Amino acid sequence: MKVSETITQEYRDETLIVSPDAGEKFSSSGSTMTIKVPTNATNNQFGLYDIVMEPRSQGPKLHYHRHMDETFIVNEGVLTVLTIHGEVEAKAGSVIYIPRLTPHGYCNKSEQPIKMTMLFNPGHNREDFFRELYKTLGDRPNDTESFMKLYAKYDSIPLNPEDMIPLVK
């Protein structure tokens, strides 16, 4: 099939195909995150990440974002979503959309691992937050002040600054 010259002047060949095992990975506290589509590949429109949470592991506690929305797709397992009204179990196939300014958190209360996909839009270079977060999670003991600075730098506002993330003493 021949493509007209007019069309070839309009389109670009920028398809990004990411294999299942590709992407920068971070691990800590029973959770592994993989950057699948970094924000620099989308002109900061969004960032896409895979997360695997081990059984009985805690993710971030109640927090919100001022400038970005967050969406989770539960691919396997049952994710416990934390809201200001309580907890909701989201089974495989569930989509959780969290508009900016909406307090949320999540954890895995089950005996099975959870696999999910997370999308931030706009992206706001979110992978830089995750790089710093996983580095900070590796520090022993954890320092609440370090987390507060990191959260403030990357548009994550905890509802309870004293109890915002699983800390290791």
Q: Give the pLDDT mean for 42-53.
A: 96
Name the phi and psi angles at 61, rounded to 5. -85, -175
Strand-pairing partners, residue 69, are: 121
- Predicted local distance difference test score (pLDDT) of residue 48: 98
Query: How many other C-beta atoms lie within 10 A of the C-beta of residue 119?
Result: 19
Residue 33 Cα to chain centre, angstroms: 8
Q: Is the pLDDT of residue 17 over 60?
A: yes
Tens digit of pLDDT for each residue in 74-108?
999 999 999 999 999 999 999 999 999 999 999 99
Helix (H) or strand (E) segment spanning residue 95: strand 95-98
Q: Give the pLDDT mean for 61-79.
A: 97
Tokens coding 116? 């999910």
More confident residue, 64 or 163: 64
Go through the domains of the chain in sequence order and give each one's CATH number: 23-158 (2.60.120.10)
Tens digit of pLDDT for each residue in 113-169?
999 999 999 999 999 999 998 888 877 777 788 888 999 999 999 998 877 766 443
Q: Side by side, which strands form the sheet with 57-58?
A: 57-58, 105-108, 78-83, 86-91
More confident residue, 63 or 148: 63
Q: Whole-model pTM above 0.75?
A: yes
CA distance 35 to 24: 5
- Predicted local distance difference test score (pLDDT) of residue 2: 64
